[in-house]
Structure 1
Amino acid sequence: MVGNGIVVEVSGKSIVTTSTPARVALAAAGSATAGLAYATLIERNAFTLREATMPVLAPGSQTIRVLHISDLHMMPNQRMKQNWLRELDRLEPDLVVNTGDNLSHQRSVPAVVQSLGSLLARPGLFVFGSNDYFAPKPKNPLKYFKKSHKKVFGEPLPWQDLRAAFTERGWLDVTHTKRELEVAGVRIATAGVDDPHLKRDRYDTIAGVPNPVADLTLGITHSPEPRVLDRFAADGYDLVLAGHTHGGQLCVPFYGALVTNCEIDRSRVKGPSRWGAHTQLHVSAGIGTSPYAPARFCCRPEATLLTLTPAPHRRAESGSDEGVSRSEAVVR
């Protein structure tokens, strides 16, 4: 042995080869580098449209299509993301629901408005998240494994300008407000709360059973905190839409998300599930990332096209996920 190598003799000459532990370390470093390059350069820009069918409407209702978008975390120079978002209007959704965290920069409002484009001319509902109110800041990623970690906020963002742009084009802000609208012949009673991740939610302002003659009762929140989901479920909402989790953002194959960044369990970190006996939940894995953590692994950025159909038995007692189906397609 010489140092960390093994001496072998080739044609009368001594050659020092790399030891097995060193080779393993080099291989691991190479794999980590390749994985990081993939997560930051490829997957975080591999925008995907997911589709799900959810039976939540009153019997006899017309089927409607809802485009659920969340967590754009827009920077002004993110052209690829902006171009992909513009293409979503060709899906011709009946309703667009935006569950917050649109901004990541002081100058991002024009980029968000322009990239949403014609979607803003369609019926829309929205609430805001923490990164509509405050710019992101660098964080220790290990803090995400502690649900009670201290939150760090950046500079205030121009959320009032974004709200004005949305509402001027006809989208409805449902923050701490009950609204009713008709979309494609379907009567919707909806309500939302401000971001529970910041503890800005005031559910008491919208508490109570929604209009029982509505074909769909829809709750909207940025972060899917159980305390808020429990209130929506107790009031009898058919469906709740949320974002915030990024689907875990960095996931492990065959295991899934390591963290959810909220109190919800990992099994509900993205996609459809059931909350309680009567309420269905859809959590979007989101379209963007913080500029200080620009990586995704086994969790592609997404928007979701939800096809809402009549429920066989409105507010049935079954707690199974029967009737919820999922598929995936890439919007190019």
Structure 2
Amino acid sequence: MTDTSETRSADSAAHEPQQSRLHRLMRYLPLIAPVLLWTVPCWLLLYAGQHWPLPVALGGTALFVLGLITMPLAMMRGHGRRQQDRAAIVGDTLLGAGWVLFTWSVLLGVLLRLTLTVTGVGDGQDRARIVTWATLGTAAVLLAWGYAEARRVPRVRRLDVQLPRLGAGLDGTRVVLITDTHYGPLDRARWSARVCETVNTLEADLVCHTGDIADGTAERRRAQAAPLGTVQATRARVYVTGNHEYYSEAQGWVDLMDELGWEPLRNSHLLLERGGDTLVVAGVDDVTAESSGLAGHRAHLAGALHGADPDHPVLLLAHQPKFVDRAAAGGVDLQLSGHTHGGQIWPFHHLVRIDQPAVAGLSRHGSRTLLYTSRGTGFWGPPFRVFAPSEITLLVLRSPQRPSTP
């Protein structure tokens, strides 16, 4: 009989070269991605059969080269040690514009050109130039619309969520979810105040913020976050950390939210009681907390539920949807998450799916656990949202035991 441990060792050894090659490739990704992002549309829009006059070709090429050089430099100055907000705005905007140009130059470069060829429209040069102008026009429209979508106060998304274990006394409990506000280089203090005003019209029993409050320290982004102190809830306002807090002194954000009247649920819970029934409202630190090296920070579901009656339904706040595997194993009834932004700029959601079990909306995991993934209230980095609108979410919890309406 073959020794199992030897077999596993042999399998591990066989996979090591493949893993090391993958790791080496990932190291070069920050260098490869910007090159692809700018050279692919440059080629498809200027040189793939268009035969533009030389000044047009050279001028267009110069613009793409400028984007290729400026974007990574600005992002390094904006998001690196220097934390220069103006540089971050330039770099993030170029990143979003480059992604949209890349996406639509590839899509239209294939689909539209094929359609024009099949229908016999023009010659090769005519078709190539139609594709170029169509791509530039589409990109311009999507970027203008996407900017407006990113900067607007999110629409309210309302849905009823039935929890089989929820007692009749808690039927109709109103839970408002905001997440991924990402206060950052663009000053959004007025936007923040308007978001909070909208939340206050929803008459929430419980208001939740599932992390990624900002990009930057609490001291630096305090003015943008300050309106969160005006949010109203009849029972509680609760908050858990997201991964971005761990890029910028997470404890400072925990302390500021506490100062603003929110209860940070750091692997802890509170009880929401009404009509003789109880709901456990629990929260965990983000899954990246432990690797941050910040003492006492980690995602610990057992700690969050310690002392809670296992017969009571559990509402869990966890920043990343992928925590739902642990939530399902722990018997959680409903997990609220953000993190994905719904992809933010289409079709980035396909890449998000590689890392997360859900991108947006309500999904079931295991026999009991529901997961609601918000597309987020703000935006990260590029000030655009394309086919991934932001949201303020109102979840009305429903009990199967509620009396029927006459």
Please confirm whether the aligned pair reaches a TM-score higher than 0.5, indicating the same fold: yes
Match of 1:242 in 2: 337
Match of 2:225 in 1: 112
One-letter amino acid matched to 2:390: P
Match of 1:45 in 2: 151
Aligned equivalent of 1:26, options 133, 138, 147: 133
Give aligned-pair identity as a percent: 28
Task: Note if 1:282 corresponds to 2:384.
Answer: no
Can you list the C-alpha shifts for 1:71-122, whole angstroms capped at 9, x where unaligned?
A: 0001372145213212211211000111000012332123213245133785
Can you list the C-alpha shifts for 1:122-168, whole angstroms capped at 9, x where unaligned?
A: 5112111122232xxxxxxxxxxxxxxxxxxxxx34x4343223324
1:60–1:133 CA distance, 2 compared to 1 (3 A) = same
1:262 and 1:81 map into 2 onto residues whose CA distance is: 32
Superposition pairs for residues 126-141 of structure 1, below 5 Å?
A: 126-134=239-247
Unaligned 5+ segments in structure 2 are 1-49, 53-124, 292-297
1:166–1:115 CA distance, 2 compared to 1 (3 A) = closer
Root-mean-square deviation (CA, aligned residues, Å) is: 2.9
Aligned equivalent of 2:143, options 15, 18, 36: 36
Unaligned 5+ segments in structure 1 are 6-17, 135-155, 314-332
1:275 and 1:77 map into 2 onto residues whose CA distance is: 38
One-letter amino acid matched to 1:234: A
Can you list the C-alpha shifts for 1:189-216, whole angstroms capped at 9, x where unaligned?
A: 13222111455423453467941343x3
Task: Note if 1:212 corresponds to 2:323.
Answer: no
Greater share of residues in helix: 2
Aligned equivalent of 1:95, options 206, 223, 243: 206
One-letter amino acid matched to 2:166: A
Match of 1:294 in 2: 383
Greater share of residues in strand: 1
Match of 2:177 in 1: 68
Match of 2:22 in 1: none
Match of 1:324 in 2: none
- Say if 1:207 and 1:235, in contact at 8 Å, map to a contact too: no
1:273–1:173 CA distance, 2 compared to 1 (3 A) = same
Superposition pairs for residues 1-332 of structure 1, below 5 Å?
A: 4=51, 19-39=126-146, 41-46=147-152, 47-56=154-163, 57-62=165-170, 63-75=172-184, 77-87=187-197, 88-106=199-217, 107-119=220-232, 123-134=236-247, 156-157=248-249, 159-182=250-273, 186-197=277-288, 200-206=298-304, 210-214=308-312, 216-225=313-322, 228-252=323-347, 257-260=349-352, 263-265=355-357, 268-290=358-380, 292-311=381-400
Aligned residues: 267
- Say if 2:150 and 2:384, in contact at 8 Å, map to a contact too: yes
2:133 and 2:283 map into 1 onto residues whose CA distance is: 51
1:184–1:132 CA distance, 2 compared to 1 (3 A) = farther
1:205 and 1:59 map into 2 onto residues whose CA distance is: 24
- Say if 1:45 and 1:80, in contact at 8 Å, map to a contact too: no
Higher relative contact order by CA 8 Å / sep ≥ 6: 1 or 2?
A: 1
Match of 1:329 in 2: none
Q: Report the 3-state secondary structure (helix = DSSP H, G, I; strand = E; otherwise coil) of the residue aligned with 2:383.
A: coil
- Say if 2:283 and 2:317, in contact at 8 Å, map to a contact too: yes
Q: Please identify the structure whose Cα radius of gyration is greater.
A: 2
1:202 and 1:73 map into 2 onto residues whose CA distance is: 24
CA shift for structure 1 position 60:
2.0
